[in-house]
Structure 1
Amino acid sequence: MTDQTSNIMSKRNVPQFFKPLYHSRAFRALWIGNTLSVFGSSITGIIIPLLVYSLTQSTVAMGFVMTAYMLPNVLILPFAGIIVDKVNRAKLMRMTDIVRCAMAFIIMSLGMSGQLTIHLLSGIAIVLGIMDGLFQPAFSAMRATVFTQDIRTSANALNQLSIQGMRLLGPALGGMIVTVWSAPIGFGIDGLTYLVSFICLLFLTKEGEIKKAVTDSKKSSFIRDCFGGIEIIKQNTWLWVTILAFCFINICTTGITVIIIPWLMNVHHHFPSYVYGLVMSGQAVGAALAAFIFGMRQTWRHRGLIAYLGIAIGGAAFMIMPFVPNPSILTLLMTIEGLGSMSFGLVWETSLQDLVAPEAFGRVASIDMLGSFALIPVGYMFTGWFASAIGGVSAMLVLSCLTLLLIAIVLCIPAIRKFD
C-alpha cells in the first residue's frame, strides 16, 4: 500500500466530527484564527466593565461605551453586506484584524501609562464597532465558502464548539489577569490574538475571491445593492419568516438572559455572585454539547422542527427558573437553554450556507445580523422597564410565554415546519 493510499484510508476512518480538520487546510486556517480571536475578545469582554468602572465608577459611562460600540456596528451593517460582496473577503478580514490589533495595543499602552480616559476608550469603541460590523458579515460569507457541502455540518459544529470553549476559558483568564497583573495586559493579549488571526488569514487566498455566477448588464445604485439581500431573502419562506420572527424572539430571550437572570440570581434568590457565574457557564456547556452532537452526523432531517423546538425548550427552561432556588438545578436549566439555542443556531447557519449563493452571502448575512441586533438595545430598555413595572418573576414568565407563542405561530407555517 502506497503512502498516498494509506493517507486516504486514514482520512476515511476519521470520525465525522473531526473531518474538517483533516480535509481542509482553509478550514484549519479560518478555525484557528477565529478560535484565538474569540479567546482574546472573551478576555477583554470581562475586563472592559472593570476598566470603565475603575475610571468612572459610573453605570452611565458603561452604557455610553457600549452604545459607542454598538451603534456604529448596527449602522454599518446594511452597507457592510455590499462591501463584503464586492471585495476580497480575506483581505477585508485581514484589514479589520490589523485595525483591531492596533486598537487593542493602543488601549494597553494608554492604560499602562495612566493616560486612558473614558472619552478615548469611547472613541476606540467606535472604531472597533465599525471593524466588527465589517468583519462579521465577511466571516459569515467566508464560512459559506470554506465550509463546503461535504464538511459543512461538522465544520459549523466544530467552529461553535471551539467558540463556546473559549467563552468559558476567556472570562476566567481575564479575571486572573486583572487580579495578578492589570487590566491593560488583557488588551495586549487580545491584540496578539488578532495578529495571529491575521497570519492565519494569509493562508486563505482563492477562498476570499468573489465569483460572479451571472453578469448583470443593468446598473443599480449603491443603496439598492446594499439592500439587495432583502430580495434574496424574500424568495425563501424559511429565511424571511425566521429573520422576522427573531427580531422579536431575540428581544424576549436576550432581555431575560441579560436583564432578568442577574436580578433573579442576586436579588430574588439572594445567591452569592459566584453562583451567577456558575449558572451562566451552564449555557456555554449546553451550547458546546449541542455543537458536539450536531457535528456527529453529516446531515440532519427535520431541521425546521429541530431549530424551533430548541428555542421552545429554552423558553420552557426560563419559565421554571424563578421557582427553583437550587443553584445546581438552575445551572442544569441554563445548560438545557444553551443546548436548545445552539441547536437553532447551527441549523440556521447551515441553512444559510445551503440556500444562499456565495456571491450574495455578505448582503444576506448583513440583513440577518441587522435583524438580530438592531432591536436588542430597545429590548434591553423595554425588559428593564417591564420588569420594574410588573416584577421580575412576572416579566420573566410573560416574556417566556411570548417566546413560546411566537414559536407556535411560526410552526403553523408549513414551509417552516417541513423545512428539511
Structure 2
Amino acid sequence: MNEQTEKAHHISEKKVPHLFRPIYQSKAFRALWIGNTLSVFGSSITGIIVPILVYSLTQSTVSMGFVMTAYMLPNVIILPFAGIIVDKINRAKLMRLTDLIRCAMAFSIMTLAFNHLLTIHMMMFIAAILGTMDGLFQPAFSAMRATIFTSEIRTSANALNQLSVQSMRLIGPALGGLIVAVWSAPIGFAIDGLTYLISFVCLLYLTKEGEIQTDTARTNSTSFLQDCFGGFEVIKKNTWLWVTILAFSLINICTTGISAIILPWLLNVHDQFPSYIYGLVMSFQAVGAALAAFIFGMRKVWRHRGWIAYLGIAAGGCAFLIMPLIHSSAAIMLLMMVEGYGSMTFGLIWETSLQELVEPEAFGRVASIDMLGSFALIPAGYMFTGWFADAVGSITAMLLLSMLTLLFIALSLSIPAIRHFD
C-alpha cells in the first residue's frame, strides 16, 4: 500500500508544471510565498494612498518629498548593519518582529486619520520607522529565500515569487484608487496592517528555516569591523558579483531617472496623452515582468545566463531610447512591456545566481550590500536627472541616459567573466 501511495504521489508530481512545483513540494515555500504576496498586496494599496493623504494634509510636493526622504534615508543607513544582524540572529524571528511593527504603524495611521489627528510630522515619523523596518526585513527575506529555494525548485520558486509580486502590483494600486473613491483612504491602511498580520502568522511556520548555521570558533574570532566588511570579502572573490553590483549602481541611476522623472513628462506634457495613459504604460511594464517570470519558471536550468541577463537590460535601454522618437501610446506601452520583461529577466537571473554563489551564513551581508548598491545612489540620481533634463532638454536627456545605459552594459559584457557566466 505504501509503495502504491508513493508511486501515485510521484506520478501526480510529474503532472505538475515546473513553475508550480514549489507550491506542491515545499511547505516552507508556501508559508513564505503566501505571506510575502499578501504583504506586497497591502503595500501596493497604500503606495497609492500615501500621496493622497500627504496632499490632503499639505497640498505640497515638497512635503511629499520630505515623507519619501524620511522613508528612504533610514532604509539606506541601516542596510550595511542589517546584513550583520541578519547573519547573527534567527531570520524568521527578525521578519516577524518587523511585520508586527509595520502592522502597528499601518493601524496607527488608520486610527489617526479616522480621528482627524494625522499630521505631516506624524507621517514623516511613521515613514522613518517603516523605512527602518524595511531595511531590516528585505535582507532577511532575501536570505530566507536562499535557504528555502533549494536547487530543485530554485528557478521556479524565484519566478513564482516574482509572478505573484507583479500581479499584486497590478491589482493593488487599482484597488487602492477604488478604496479612496468609494470608501475612505484610511481603510487601505487597515488592509495593509491585516496583510502584515497574516504574514506574521505565516512566518510562525519558518523558525527552523530561519536558524543560522555558523562556525562558532570563527564567529568568536571575528570583530564587529570584520563582520561589517565580511560581505565585501565574499563579493570581491567573484567577478560576476562585484562587476554587476558596481555596474547597476550606475545603470539604476539612468533607468530609474528615466522611468520616474522623464517618462511621466514625456507622456503627460510632451505628447499630451490623457492622464490614464501613464497608468496603462506602467501596467504594461508589470505585464512584461510577469511574462518574464512565467517563462523563466518553466525551466529548471538556464544556460548562458550572463548574456541573457545583460541583454535583457539592454532591451530595456533600447526601449527607452526609442520612446522619445515615437508618438503612439500603444507603441510606448509595448516598449514598456519589453523593458519590464528585460528587467525582470535580469532580476531573476541575478537572484538565482546569488543563491547559488553565496553561503547561507554570509547571505544577509551580501544581500544588504547588493541593496545598498541598488538604492543608495537613486535619490542622487533623481536629483541629477531632474537637473540634467532641465539643462539639456528632457528628450535629449532621455536619449543620452539610454545610450549611457547601453554603454555600461557593453563595458560589463567586455569582461569575460560576465559573458561566460553560465
Normalised TM-score (structure 1): 0.99
- 1:221-274: CA deviation from partner (whole Å, max 9, x where unpaired): 223312210000000000000000011000000000000000000011001110
1:141 maps to which of 122, 133, 143: 143
In structure 1, the residue corresponding to 2:209 is in which secondary structure? Answer: helix
Q: Deviations over 1:18-77 (max 9, x none)?
A: 110001000000000000000000000011011100000000000000000000000000
User: Comparing 132-141 with 219-228, which one deviates more in the overlay?
Assistant: 219-228
3-state DSSP of counterpart to 1:19: helix
Question: In the TM superposition, what whole-angstrom CA distance separates every residue of 1:290-348 from its partner, at most 9, and x where no partner exists?
Answer: 00000000010000000000000000000110121111111000000000000000000
Query: In structure 1, what residue type is equivalent to 2:364?
Result: G
Give the Å deviation of 1:362: 0.1
**Which residue matches 1:165?**
167
For residue 92 of structure 1, what is the amino acid of its counterpart? L
Gaps of 5+ in 1: none
Give me the whole-angstrom Cα distance separating, in 1, the residues matched to 2:160 and 2:33.
9
Distance in structure 2 (CA, Å) of the matches to 1:397 and 1:276: 19
- The alignment yields a C-alpha RMSD, in angstroms, of 1.0
Change (3 A) 1:339 1:145: same
Quick one: structure 1 residues 37 and 66, their matched pair in 2 at CA, closer, same or farther if it must change by over 3 Å?
same
For 2:47, what is the secondary structure of its paired residue? Answer: helix
Task: Tell me what 1:402 maps to.
Answer: 404
Distance 1:38 1:147 in 2: 19
Q: Read off the aligned partner of 1:400 and give its amino acid letter.
A: S
- Corresponding position of 1:417: 419
Instruction: Name the counterpart of 2:288.
Output: 286
> Shift of residue 217 of structure 1?
6.7
Cα deviation 1:351-382 (Å, max 9, x = unaligned): 00000000100000000000000000000000
- In structure 1, what residue type is equivalent to 2:75? N
1-side partners of 2:201 and 2:228: how far apart? 30
Task: Identify the range of structure 1 (71-80 vs 226-235) with the bigger mean alpha-carbon deviation.
Answer: 226-235
2-side partners of 1:137 and 1:156: how far apart? 15
Letter in 2 for 1:345: G
Which residue of 2 is the match for residue 152 of structure 1?
154
Q: Helix, strand or coil: the match of 1:114?
A: coil
Who is 1:190 aligned against?
192
Q: What's the counterpart of residue 210 of structure 1?
A: 212
Partner of 1:223: 225
Correspondence list, 1:14-413, <5 A = 14-212=16-214, 215-216=217-218, 219-413=221-415
CA distance, structure 2, for counterparts of residue 275 and residue 343 of structure 1:
25
Specify the SS of the correspondent of 1:207.
coil
Counterpart residue identity of residue 396, structure 1:
M
| SS at structure 1 position matched to 2:218 | coil
CA distance in 1, matches of 2:102, 2:25: 30
**1:182 to partner: Cα distance:** 1.0
Q: How far, CA to CA, are the matches of 1:5 and 1:281 in structure 2?
A: 44
CA distance in structure 2 between the partners assigned to 1:400 and 1:48 by the alignment: 31
Unaligned runs of 5+ in 2: none
| Cα pair distance change 1:238/1:61, threshold 3 Å | same
1:213, CA displacement in angstroms? Answer: 5.2
AA aligned to 1:150 is: E
Kindly state the Cα deviation for residue 4 of structure 1 after the two structures are TM-superposed.
3.3
CA distance in 2, matches of 1:354, 1:337: 26
Residue 84 of structure 2 aligns to which amino acid in structure 1?
Answer: I
By how many angstroms is 1:8 displaced?
A: 2.3
- With normalisation by structure 2, the TM-score equals 0.98
Question: Percent identity between the aligned chains?
Answer: 73
Asked if structure 2 preserves the Cα contact closer than 8 Å seen for 1:78 and 1:227, the reply is: no
| Kept after mapping to 2: 8 A contact 1:161/1:291 | yes
How far apart, in 2, do the equivalents of 1:292 and 1:68 lie?
35
Deviates more, 1:217-226 or 1:23-32: 217-226
Answer whether contact 1:213 1:359 (CA < 8 A) is retained: no
Deviation of 1:418 after TM superposition, in Å, equals 0.4
Count of aligned pairs: 420
Conservation of the 8 A alpha-carbon contact between 1:241 and 1:410: yes
| Matching residue's letter, 1:229 | G
Give structure 1 regions of 4+ aligned residues with deviation exceeding 3 angstroms. none
225-234 or 37-46, larger mean C-alpha shift: 225-234
SS of alignment partner, residue 221 of structure 2: coil
In the TM superposition, residue 214 of structure 1 has moved relative to its aligned partner by: 7.2
Question: What is the rounded CA distance, in whole Å, between the counterparts of 1:250 and 1:224 in structure 2?
Answer: 29
**8 Å Cα contact 1:98-1:198 kept in structure 2:** yes
In 2: Cα distance, 1:18 partner to 1:220 partner: 42
- Structure 2 SS opposite 1:208: coil
Q: Deviations over 1:181-200 (max 9, x none)?
A: 11111000000000000000
Cα deviation, 1:73-110, whole Å, max 9, x if unaligned, reads 00000000000000000000000000000000000000
Look up the equivalent residue of 1:293 and give its one-letter code: I
**Corresponding residue SS for 1:299:** coil
Q: Which moved more, 1:104-113 or 1:205-214?
A: 205-214
